[in-house]
Chains A and B, each alone.
Chain A
Amino acid sequence: GENVEQHPSTLSVQEGDSAVIKCTYSDSASNYFPWYKQELGKRPQLIIDIRSNVGEKKDQRIAVTLNKTAKHFSLHITETQPEDSAVYFCAASRDTGGFKTIFGAGTRLFVKA
């Protein structure tokens, strides 16, 4: 079945440094890749997404890259701040077969002040 692998499971960075989270997906029909941030006790919130016809997308300190050939996509957070500390989930979805979204295992990001 469909699968999304996410690495690392835990990431600790110093405030101001960059953080990179990587994901791979198995379903070649996937064409939409959202990233969610989940703070403790709260619901997942979409922070950025990318569609398969785009290789890179940026929104202020957050960027996402996609390599369809390799089935890889990554989240880049620059100039990290303590409030970036949370669990981040990558996900993959497609326009056929029920539109369901499959999530990666999550990355717990710690930003040390």
Chain B
Amino acid sequence: SAVISQKPSRDICQRGTSLTIQCQVDSQVTMMFWYRQQPGQSLTLIATANQGSEATYESGFVIDKFPISRPNLTFSTLTVSNMSPEDSSIYLCSARRQGASDTQYFGPGTRLTVL
């Protein structure tokens, strides 16, 4: 199984600022993803982090708001830019080694509160 760590685990931020969340996987993985989970809600895919190229964003999410980097096979960052209270949520990193049929693991999440 893949072990995924994220930092920070939580943060409280002021409106208009930006926060970068880091995700580290303990072994090389093919696919890395970023999800958002509002309290009591399901997991919504923000984007697929592509190594060495621009991330692939889902409908409703844009690069200017959620820039993503993935410099290698084990590390990715998600930045939440120009934050507003509506961005308060849990952000989860996820990874999978090979194809779609391989187990997808999740990081512990980053709980973000925007005041």
Contacts and interface: CB of A to CB of B under 8 A. Distances in A.
A26 to B, nearest CB: 15
Given A44-B43, A89-B42, A98 B56 contact: yes
A51 interface: yes
B29 to A, nearest CB: 11
Contacts of B104: 34, 46, 93, 101
Interface stretch (B15-23, B63-71, B75-83, B106-114): B106-114
Contacts of B42: 89, 103-106
SS of B interface (majority):
strand
A95 B99 contact: yes
Nearest to A92: B100
B3 to A, nearest CB: 11
A99 B92 contact: no
Interface of B: 31, 33, 41-45, 48, 56, 58-59, 92, 94, 96, 99-101, 103-109
A98 B48 contact: yes
Nearest to A52: B101
A30 to B, nearest CB: 9
A95 B15 CA distance: 39
Contacts of A51: 101
Contacts of B33: 100-101
A100 B34 CA distance: 11
A49 B106 contact: no
